[in-house]
Amino acid sequence: MFHREGFIIISISFVLTATFLILSDLLIKSPFIKYLIQFLSVFFLVLILQFFRNPKRSVSPDDKLILSPVDGKVVIIDSVFEKEYFKDNRKQVSIFMSPINVHVTRFPISGRIVYSKYHPGKYLFAWLPKSSEENERTSIVINTPEYGEIMYRQIAGALARRIVNYAKKGDDVNQGDDAGFIKFGSRVDIFLPLDSTICVKIDESAIGAKTIISSIK
Q: Are 147 and 196 in contact (CB under 8 A)?
A: yes
Predicted local distance difference test score (pLDDT) of residue 56: 85
Asked if 156 and 134 touch (Cβ cutoff 8 Å), the reply is: no
CA–CA gap between residue 136 and residue 158 (Å, rounded): 10
Annotated catalytic sites, by residue? 186
pLDDT at 122: 66
pLDDT beyond 60 at 40: yes
d(CA 153, CA 81): 14
Whether 93 and 192 have beta carbons less than 8 Å apart is answered as yes
pLDDT digits (tens, 9 = 90+) for 1-37: 776 777 888 899 889 999 989 888 888 888 888 889 8
Amino acid 128: pLDDT? 58
Work out the pLDDT band at 207, boundaries 50, 70, 90: very high
Residue 187 pLDDT: 87
Q: Is the pLDDT of residue 163 over 60?
A: yes
- Report the sign of the C-alpha dihedral through residues 127, 160, 172, 141, in that order: positive
Is the pLDDT score of 76 beyond 60? Answer: yes
Q: What is the pLDDT of residue 129?
A: 59
Nearest by Cα to 142 from 161, 176, 170, 121: 170
- Give the chain's mean pLDDT: 88
In terms of pLDDT, which residue wins out, 205 or 44?
205
8 A C-beta contact, residue 208 and residue 200: no
Contact 89, 194 (CB under 8 A): yes
pLDDT digits (tens, 9 = 90+) for 94-135: 999 887 888 899 999 999 999 999 988 665 555 555 556 667
Residue 145, pLDDT above cutoff 70? yes
